[in-house]
Amino acid sequence: MREEDMSSEEGFSKNEAWAVHEDHSWNYRGVNWPGVLGGLLLLALPFLGPWWFLKFGSDAFHVSVSPFMAEIRNMGVPVFSPLLYWLNIAFLILILIFGMEMLLGSLVSGLHRYRDISGVLVCSAAKKPLILVIVFFAAVLAVSLTMDRVVALFGITGFSGNIPLIAGGSVVTISNPGLVLLVPVAVELSPVFFLSIAISFICLFAGYWQEKGVSDDPDGP
């Protein structure tokens, strides 16, 4: 009888030790690898350069922007906008936070005891990059549609002509008393913009991966 009690106690202690080991050990198969990739790309995205370019003439008026930076030059002279500056800072901080959430949540999903936390972190960040891309695209579209008013803010008057909405080239007219100028205009979306779209879908897939991984977990979250 004593031997049976000892064996049962030994079995219980082994099972308990295994449960603790299973609960605390890091399982690389449980890691959300798309989320790791998406998180790293999000952390790098703000430093990859502009998303959109606008250029009047050779260097008369030049704009290169992304949600995280804005460079505006009028006749070669830099133009500073406090509003754009602080918007860039805000978006930079937000995307770094989302990148850290995505990366950290994806890594700790390999720890069963933190599965709930990892799900919250990943799902919280998964849709934000796509929202940012949509907001930026809408802002670029709005600027293109109201270009005459935008250039007037920088001292360019007598503007007329059609600006390509998103990308392309055209010729516009800038009229002043006694002077009419035909100015070529170039608009371009950079490769970084299309990379941001790819990153957005990687993050969306990471959110789906996280939810599917939790639902397929036999022990539950």
Residue 217 has pLDDT above 60, yes or no: no
Mean pLDDT over 114-131 rounds to 85
- Domains of the chain in start order, with CATH, are 26-216 (1.20.140)
What CA–CA distance (Å, rounded) separates 22 from 45?
36
Q: What pLDDT sits at residue 63?
A: 86
Confidence (pLDDT) at 114: 67
What pLDDT does residue 31 have? 84
Residue 60: predicted pLDDT = 73
Task: Say whether pTM exceeds 0.85.
Answer: no
Across 201-220, average pLDDT:
74
Confidence grade of residue 17 (pLDDT, cut at 50, 70, 90)? very low
C-alpha angle 76-182-73 in degrees, rounded to nearest 5: 15
Q: Cα separation of 200 and 159, whole Å?
A: 37
Distances from the Cα of 213 to the Cα of 67, 112, 152, 218, angstroms:
32, 11, 54, 10
